[in-house]
């Protein structure tokens, strides 16, 4: 799957409500000092005289005949032919208003939008392959209709309808995705399109992408908050904006401005990885955000003929290694933040990164990068010669760390010794409660046995209007109730950067790993004097994990904890549980120092991406205490 298409469920940011709904106002100064005129001049000298986009132009028949002969492009013409007799759905006001009316991202709106914008890619590719002119008129009709839309942004990014009513122009994930494909369309087809159509599309690109971006950087227009953001919007929107500008802007200095701006503000995106490559947004957003960063890098690299290499910017290589280091065993990844439970890195993207950074990893290799799916821009980036495929494949090797520590996110993964009897793999999460796509989940942990995640972080919810509103943490998947963490004096963890897990002990050896965090700041409980959560992972035998909570109050309070699972569970004895799924099971021994406790069960009835609903197993001490200790000892067991 092309890098810019990891978006069906991952298309928003927690900052969105505050960032894009403000009334436009002129800024006082250029954004972060603006873009250096000298740097624009230097990059201008690197660019060619003419615009650049991926792939051969339609007149390059040898290039398109070569693509047409590949398996990936063999069905392109037939696919486009079906659209010739399929009416293009209208983007009606009724469809656009569905999010405002329902608070949900409706299938009807997504279907209509997808079927409209997809025609740009499909008709463009089909015409380039066939070169007979029969896709030009339907393509031009689609382009005219798209240009007549009141806005190109997602309806769920326009809660106030300020864009729909023309009060402002926001550049968002939807508009840049469309823009780069419009740019490719104009670049590839050239004067096969009528002058009127070209002028119309160019005018809309200027109105909705180029001019608003220019003014935001110069400080003369509305702020586009994502330009300096440290998360996926930055890379996605820069990738689309730069690709469109390089494809259609005739003036070389203007093209250089967009490249120079992206070079500067990409540092803000990479800053979000904290210097160790950790993606706080989770695996799904890494696919989307870093996948688009890779596309930006390759666009700029080829446009400057290899003279500007954004792949080498500080932090880029560490971010590229995130999926390798966050992976547990058997292709299982912890579902931290707003990602789906089974999120994995895209194989095509990881294989590209593997080759481009010469990592030489055996398990991220595809024999053929060619693809016609997704947008035409990203499809052609992968399908044509690029700076990854131009490199010889590095010698194969296996990547393996006993312990992968991400200091920035406070996340530690612990794995068995190779070729040992240990079958248990674990992950622990610290960090703070104001991360991008944050969940209030300090102290959360994941226990994997074989191919099953038995105790886990449950992942994100299906997005609604609530998800990115003041009511975000009413969701039991997003607040701490849906995570395997304590409940103190009946209170859940509070949001905000002040709620931070302080790592007080790190001790890693071949035999065991100890990771201790102070969680006191996560709870607004005045009587809470101390709260430490200790993880001890042992590799002996089949492996074991001990999770210990030590707490002290100045006045007696209640204490509870929880385990979260998508599997099943049962009580083996008064102080032992069995959590199991698909022939794998772990036993959980509960030690409260003799203090009575009760066990409760609740299915968390929020809508998840994987359609299942997790079970919360509550372990609650009966009665208030001044101090106490709760220990979970988790070991592999036979499923019963």
pLDDT tens digits for 366-416? 989 999 998 999 999 999 999 999 887 777 878 899 999 999 999 999 999
Question: Beta strand pairing status for 502-508 and 615-621?
Answer: unpaired
Q: Are residues 550 and 581 in the same domain?
A: yes
**522 close to 493: Cβ distance less than 8 angstroms:** yes
Determine the pLDDT at residue 28: 64
Residue with tokens 């929020």: 606
- What is the Cα–Cα distance from 191 to 186, expressed in whole angstroms? 8
Indicate the number of domains in the chain. Answer: 2
Specify the 3-state DSSP secondary structure of 149: coil
Residue burial 334-359, b: 16+ Cβ < 10 Å; e: rest: bbbbbbbbebbbbebbbbbbbbbbeb
Evaluate whether residue 325 is within a structural domain: no
Evaluate whether residue 510 is within a structural domain: yes
Order of strands, edge to edge, in the sheet holding 445-449? 403-406, 411-414, 424-429, 445-449, 452-455
pLDDT at 86 over 80: yes
Q: Are residues 119 and 198 in the same domain?
A: yes
Evaluate whether residue 333 is within a structural domain: no
Confidence of residue 12 (pLDDT cuts 50, 70, 90): very low
Tell me the mean pLDDT in the region 46-72. Answer: 97
Q: Are residues 459 and 379 in the same domain?
A: no
Tell me the mean pLDDT in the region 193-219. Answer: 98
Phi, psi of 137 (to 5 degrees): -65, -45
- Report residue 475 as tokens: 């969701």
Tell me the mean pLDDT in the region 56-66. Answer: 98
Q: Are residues 506 and 589 in the same domain?
A: yes
Average pLDDT over all residues of the chain: 94
Cross-strand bridge partners of residue 449: 424, 452
- Report residue 8 as tokens: 């069906």
Q: Are residues 95 and 239 in the same domain?
A: yes
Residue burial 220-230, b: 16+ Cβ < 10 Å; e: rest: ebbbbbbbbbb
- Report residue 150 as tokens: 């009141």
Evaluate whether residue 74 is within a structural domain: yes
The CATH number covering residue 415 comes to: 2.70.98.70
Q: Are residues 476 and 602 in the same domain?
A: yes
Evaluate whether residue 396 is within a structural domain: no
Output DSSP code: residue 522: G
Q: Are residues 372 and 409 in the same domain?
A: no
**517 close to 410: Cβ distance less than 8 angstroms:** yes
Distances in whole angstroms, Cα of residue 618 to Cα of each of 38, 86, 508, 603, 615: 61, 53, 30, 11, 9
Tell me the mean pLDDT in the region 524-534. Answer: 98
Number of H helices, E strands in the chain: 19, 19
Q: Are residues 268 and 407 in the same domain?
A: no
Q: Are residues 486 and 625 in the same domain?
A: yes
Residue burial 485-505, b: 16+ Cβ < 10 Å; e: rest: bbbbbebbbbbeeebbbebee
- What is the Cα–Cα distance from 183 to 121, expressed in whole angstroms? 11
- What is the Cα–Cα distance from 444 to 457, expressed in whole angstroms? 7
Domain end, chosen from 355, 383, 411, is at 383
Q: Which domain holds residue 493?
A: 403-637
- What is the Cα–Cα distance from 627 to 585, expressed in whole angstroms? 32
pLDDT at 5 over 80: no
Q: Are residues 363 and 491 in the same domain?
A: no
> 10 Å Cβ neighbour count for 626?
13
Evaluate whether residue 388 is within a structural domain: no
- What is the Cα–Cα distance from 336 to 429, expressed in whole angstroms? 8
Q: Are residues 379 and 409 in the same domain?
A: no
Q: Are residues 294 and 181 in the same domain?
A: yes
The CATH number covering residue 36 comes to: 1.50.10
pLDDT at 640 over 80: no
Phi, psi of 324 (to 5 degrees): -70, -40
Confidence of residue 196 (pLDDT cuts 50, 70, 90): very high
Determine the pLDDT at residue 392: 78
Percent of the chain with pLDDT over 70: 95
pTM: 0.94
- Report residue 633 as tokens: 């000892």
Phi, psi of 226 (to 5 degrees): -70, -20
Side-chain half-sphere exposure of 439, counting CA atoms within 13 A: 30
- Largest pairwise CA distance in the chain: 83
Residue with tokens 């469109």: 244
Phi, psi of 571 (to 5 degrees): -90, 125
Evaluate whether residue 281 is within a structural domain: yes
Evaluate whether residue 590 is within a structural domain: yes
Phi, psi of 555 (to 5 degrees): -140, 140
Percent of the chain with pLDDT over 90: 92
Determine the pLDDT at residue 398: 81
Determine the pLDDT at residue 391: 85
């Amino acid at each position: 799957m092309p890098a810019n298409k990891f978006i069906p469920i991952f298309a928003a940011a927690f900052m969105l409500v505050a960032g894009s709904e403000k009334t436009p106002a002129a800024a006082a100064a250029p954004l972060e000092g603006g873009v250096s005129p000298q740097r624009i001049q230097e990059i201008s000298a690197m660019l060619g005289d003419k615009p650049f986009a991926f792939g051969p132009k339609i007149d390059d028949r040898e290039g398109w005949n070569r693509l047409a002969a590949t398996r990936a492009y063999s069905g392109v013409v037939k696919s486009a032919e079906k659209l010739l007799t399929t009416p293009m759905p209208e983007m009606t006001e009724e469809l656009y208003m569905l999010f405002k009316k329902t608070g949900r991202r409706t299938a009807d709106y997504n279907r209509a939008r997808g079927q409209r914008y997809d025609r740009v890619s499909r008709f463009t590719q089909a015409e380039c392959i066939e070169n007979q002119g029969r896709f030009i008129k339907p393509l031009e009709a689609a382009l005219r209709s798209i240009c007549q839309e009141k806005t190109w942004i997602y309806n769920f990014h326009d809660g106030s309808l300020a864009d729909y009513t023309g009060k402002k122009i926001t550049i968002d994930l939807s508009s840049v995705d469309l823009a780069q494909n419009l740019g490719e369309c104009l670049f590839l087809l050239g004067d096969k399109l009528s002058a009127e159509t070209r002028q119309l599309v160019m005018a809309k690109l200027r109105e909705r992408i180029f001019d608003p971006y220019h003014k935001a950087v110069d400080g003369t227009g509305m702020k586009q908050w994502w330009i300096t953001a440290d998360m996926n919007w930055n890379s996605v929107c820069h990738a689309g904006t730069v690709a469109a500008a390089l494809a259609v802007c005739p003036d070389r200095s203007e093209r250089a401005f967009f490249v120079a701006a992206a070079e500067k503000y990409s540092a803000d995106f990479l800053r979000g990885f904290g210097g160790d490559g950790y993606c706080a947004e989770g695996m799904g957003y890494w696919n989307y955000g870093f996948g688009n960063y890779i596309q930006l890098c390759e666009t700029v690299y080829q446009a400057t003929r290899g003279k500007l290499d954004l792949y080498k910017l500080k932090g880029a290589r560490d971010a590229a290694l995130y999926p390798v280091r966050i992976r547990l065993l058997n292709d299982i990844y912890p579902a931290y933040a707003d990602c789906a439970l089974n999120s994995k890195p895209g194989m095509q993207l990881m294989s590209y990164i593997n080759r481009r950074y010469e990592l030489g990893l055996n398990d991220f290799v595809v024999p053929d990068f060619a693809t016609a799916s997704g947008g035409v821009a990203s499809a052609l980036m992968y399908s044509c010669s690029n700076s990854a495929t131009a490199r010889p494949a590095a010698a194969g090797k296996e990547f393996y760390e006993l312990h992968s520590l991400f200091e920035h996110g406070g996340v530690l993964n612990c794995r068995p010794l190779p070729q040992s009897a240990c079958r248990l793999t674990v992950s622990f999460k610290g960090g703070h409660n104001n991360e991008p796509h944050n969940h209030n989940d300090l102290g959360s942990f994941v226990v994997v046995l074989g191919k099953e995640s038995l105790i886990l972080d449950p992942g994100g919810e299906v997005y609604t209007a609530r998800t990115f509103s003041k009511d975000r943490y009413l969701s039991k998947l997003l607040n701490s109730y849906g995570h395997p963490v304590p409940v103190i004096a009946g209170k859940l963890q509070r949001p905000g950067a002040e709620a931070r897990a302080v790592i007080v002990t790190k001790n890693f050896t071949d035999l065991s790993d100890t990771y201790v965090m102070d969680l006191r700041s996560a709870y607004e409980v005045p009587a809470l004097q101390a709260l430490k959560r200790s993880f001890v992972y042992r590799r002996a035998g089949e492996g074991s994990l001990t999770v210990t909570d030590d707490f002290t109050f100045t006045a007696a309070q209640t204490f509870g904890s929880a385990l979260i699972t998508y599997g099943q569970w049962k009580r083996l004895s008064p102080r032992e549980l069995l959590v199991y799924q698909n022939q794998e099971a772990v036993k959980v021994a509960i030690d409260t120092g003799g203090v009575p406790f009760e066990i409760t069960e609740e299915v968390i009835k929020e809508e998840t991406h994987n359609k299942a609903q997790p079970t919360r197993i509550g372990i609650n001490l009966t009665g208030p205490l001044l101090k106490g200790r709760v220990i979970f000892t988790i070991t592999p067991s036979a499923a019963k």
